[in-house]
Structure formats: C-alpha cells, structure tokens
Amino acid sequence: KAGVTQTPRYLIKTRGQQVTLSCSPISGHRSVSWYQQTPGQGLQFLFEYFSETQRNKGNFPGRFSGRQFSNSRSEMNVSTLELGDSALYLCASSWRQVNSYNEQFFGPGTRLTVL
C-alpha cells in the first residue's frame, strides 16, 4: 500500500507570493493533518481535515488555509508569503475511526523556501 505522498517536495517562492501544497493520504484514510516544522518553533500543528471539513485548528494566522476533497486528498495554501514561512510542511493521514486510536502516518514533507 502506498504511503502518504506530498507534492512538490521542494519549492522556492518570494515574499508576497502564495503557494499551494498537496497531500495524498494512504488509501482509505479519511483524515489529513498538516504540521509546520521550523528550526526555531519546532513541529507545530496547523489543522486537520476530515470528511472535507476542518475539524481542528492550530494557532496560525488566517494566511494559512486548507481544504480537503471528496477523495480525501488535501491541499494547504499560504498567501502573502513571509520569510518566516520557510519550513518543512508535513502532512499525516489516519483512519479517524470513532472511539479508537488512530495512528497518524506522515509523508516526507514539502520544503518551502521563501526568498
């Protein structure tokens, strides 16, 4: 079974631009969570999508948004990029079954560099 895939793997943008990152979950998984990893702030939770609805949100500005499609694939968008948005963006997928533990499986990440 294929793992979580993220595209693109590397991206270079300039300040003020916007960017869209894509995440394809493991087949059958219905939940996708996004995380930002930076040297200064570490790993921080951005948001989770399940059944095309945002279920959980971290403490990030509104420039960070996401969506989920009916096939569970997810995209996250960052508008008006700032230098501090340079990071590794990880997505993770899980079954999200009720009343049971749902392991999150992580993709390899997209490394975004903002110049």
Partner 1 sequence: AQSVTQLDSQVPVFEEAPVELRCNYSSSVSVYLFWYVQYPNQGLQLLLKYLSGSTLVKGINGFEAEFNKSQTSFHLRKPSVHISDTAEYFCAVSDSSASKIIFGSGTRLSIRP
Query: Least distance in Å: CB of 80 to partner 1?
Result: 26
Q: How far apart are CA 6 and CA 91, in angstroms?
A: 8
Is 58 a binder of partner 1 (CB under 8 A)?
Answer: yes
End-to-end Cα spacing for the chain: 37
Choices 13-21, 62-70, 72-80, 97-105 (CB under 8 A): range interacting with partner 1: 97-105
* Closest by Cα among 16, 1, 2, 25 to 85: 16
Please pick, from the candidates 24, 48, 81, 87, the single residue that binds partner 1 as defined by CB under 8 A: 48
Minimum CB distance to partner 1 smaller for 8 or for 16: 8
How would you classify the pairing of strands 19-24 and 74-78?
Answer: antiparallel
Is 55 a binder of partner 1 (CB under 8 A)?
Answer: yes
CA distances from 2 to 27, 55, 97, 106 (A): 7, 25, 20, 12
| Residues within the interface to partner 1 (CB under 8 A) | 4, 31, 33, 35, 42-45, 48, 50, 55-56, 58, 90, 92, 94, 96, 101-104, 106-109
